[in-house]
Amino acid sequence: MAYKKPESALVVLYDQHHRVLLLQRKDDPTFWQSVTGALEEGELPIETAYREVAEEIGIDAKAHGFKLKDHCKQNKYEIRSRWLHRYPPGTVFNTENVFSLQIDSALPLVLTEHLQYQWVSKEQALARLWSPSNKEAVSLFVPSVP
């Protein structure tokens, strides 16, 4: 098994109504999150962000004219113990690059790595998200309803 690189992209997705897209993990149904994934060898964080959106929800953002916003923010967090085996031995921390993306919620989503998705209010997202860095990104980068 190839180890994951301990650097990732987090993409907070929201729609034209300022609702946040939440994804329920298959390997931990109590864990709701935004799109996220590890950088592949030679990949820039923004490339990872676009790739992960396409892989996890089936939306080619560039083809739809959606532009990722790079918040030039990195979070460093301790990797959950249940996932440490995915990283090189001795790796404890991951560096996360934060992005956001507004998409049209009328577009059909195709899930490949999650059980289900829900469009929820910003407040509901903040209450349900597991990851502190994901909560912070929603809080900071999803516009409030006017």
Can you tell me the distance from the alpha carbon of 135 to that of 2, in angstroms, rounded to the nearest whole number? 30
User: 52 a known binding residue?
Assistant: yes
Can you tell me the distance from the alpha carbon of 10 to that of 92, in angstroms, rounded to the nearest whole number? 18
**Element housing 123 (H / E):** helix 122-128
Q: Residue 110 in contact with residue 58, Cβ under 8 Å?
A: yes
User: 4 a known binding residue?
Assistant: yes
Per the document, the length of the chain is 146
User: 25 a known binding residue?
Assistant: yes
User: 131 a known binding residue?
Assistant: yes
Can you tell me the distance from the alpha carbon of 122 to that of 143, in angstroms, rounded to the nearest whole number? 9
Q: Residue 113 in contact with residue 29, Cβ under 8 Å?
A: no
Binding residues for substrate: 4, 25, 36, 131
Binding residues for Mg(2+): 52, 56, 113
Binding residues: 4, 25, 36, 52, 56, 113, 131
